[in-house]
Amino acid sequence: MSRNEKYNYIAGEWVAAAEFTENRNPSDLDDVIGHYAQASAQQTGDAIAAARAALPEWAAATPQFRAEILERVGTELMARREELGELLSREEGKIRAEGIGEATRAAQLFKFYAQEALRVEGIAIASIRPGVRVEVRHEPVGVIGMITPWNFPIAIPAWKIAPALAYGNTVVFKPADLTPGCGWALAEILSRAGLPAGVFNLVMGKGRIVGDAIARSPLVDAVTFTGSEATGRGIRGIVAERGGKVQQEMGGKSPLVVLDDADLDNAIDCAIGGSVISTGQRCTSNTRIIATPAIHDALVEGMAKRTRALVVGNALDPASHIGPVVDQKQLDTNLRYIAIADDEGAERLCGGEILERPQRGFYLSPAVYANCTNQMVHVREEVFGPVVSVIKAADYEEALAIANDSDLGLSSGICTKSLKYAEDFKTRSASGMVFVNLPTAGVDYHVPFGGKKASSYGPREQGRAAREFFTSSKTAYTNPL
């Protein structure tokens, strides 16, 4: 890592910050990844001003020019996916294979939106008036502020930055304070991709300083945010009050319904693969398992057996199935919810214990709870850790009702061989994404991503659906005299 890690990227230049933060590996606290700049409110304002100044030129750039730049970024990300995946694993804690997979996904996103840049299309509509022509065009929104989370520190920035640039917007990007290394690495690649100065800007730092400045600036036309519900509500209030456009993804408590006719091995795979894998640090994790009576006991037994066999260790160790929790604060949160679950009377079948490993790190064994109810605190609130709870339901209708009884609605799943119940669940599930015989955590990049209820606000992310947020429509009437 070069000395530029102590710099933000503003108006086409690496700009030194007065303060920086030390970034350590959650798998090995003796491993210092780097020292990263902490932008001030003034630097953030400079980045916003640079993005505003660069907007006219970039908005007028040809689709081919934008496409070539995005393709260049995607190609470098793909070529360096192992290196970047390892950085991601050192920084966030997911195992190396998952880190490489995420870096690959970032590359795919840039390549997808390189092609979308060539497909910014409008429509011509016949007017109700003779001789008048009507067109609907899609134009850039303007300056986009981006505030991204630590759990997918390169893929989520990619699925925000790539479409923003493809549709002609300029960007002010604030990565999560816990994972600045991936944000910096992505920015460094973008800095060499041929973008005009000011089109893309990186400002690393605290949310209360950098994020607040982005949310409050009248020069920022829209803000896209992924993170906690509480922070999202605060940002939404600030941006909406000044008339800005908002897009938010704010978590989930995804249910997985397992019916009596389900394939047991597949159901166990879905229940564990979609919950405690990735240390449970995914907003789409199916941490509420709702099983009907005939399969319930075998499912619970299989989940506990499968979980006990998982190896928790250093993210870079090939033997590890699960890496560490991201930091001490999140570990404390996980332990608090485990204590709550114990106090609520849920039956802890395995896990929930701090683990000692050769390197100092935030290691926690994944926990499986049985005999849960949907009213328990640990079942209703998002833990964001490797904790999965099993609820017994009398039949499909009760299971569906329990699944829908949540303030959140990002994703949901069902395991069944019944086409009848699968189709009914897809229709009646109160979530933005539905999975049949699959874990709820795992999405494609070329289709819409988003939820219902408190999970999401504003237009969907990813795929062609991203156009709705990153463009505004203009209706043009012509009377050809």
Q: Which residues are catalytic?
A: 249, 283
What is the C-alpha to C-alpha distance for residues 270 and 440, in angstroms, rounded to an integer?
A: 8
Closest by CA to 412, choosing from 371, 370, 453, 468, is 453
In this structure, are residues 471 and 166 in contact, taking their beta carbons and an 8 Å threshold? no
Number of H helices, E strands in the chain: 15, 22
Partners of 390 in the β-ladder: 289
What is the C-alpha to C-alpha distance for residues 189 and 83, in angstroms, rounded to an integer?
A: 13
Q: What is the DSSP letter of 171?
A: E
Q: Which two tokens stand for residue 95?
A: 């195992």
In this structure, are residues 143 and 58 in contact, taking their beta carbons and an 8 Å threshold? no
List the alpha helices (DSSP H) in 260-320: 264-273, 293-308
Residue 32: which region, alpha, beta or left (left: phi > 0; alpha: psi -120 to 50)?
A: beta
Its sign, for the CA torsion 281, 439, 227, 351, is negative
User: Mind giving me the DSSP string for 366-395?
Assistant: -EEEEEE-TTSHHHHS---SSEEEEEE-SS
Its sign, for the CA torsion 47, 50, 56, 58, is negative
Closest by CA to 12, choosing from 162, 219, 182, 200, is 200
CA 235 to mean position of chain CA atoms: 17
3-state secondary structure of 429: coil
Burial class (CB in 10 A: 0-12, 13-18, 19+), 153: buried
Sheet holding 471-478, edge to edge: 123-126, 133-140, 471-478
Burial class (CB in 10 A: 0-12, 13-18, 19+), 137: middle
3-state secondary structure of 93: coil
Backbone angles phi, psi at 274, to 5 degrees: -95, 5
Closest by CA to 288, choosing from 418, 378, 417, is 378
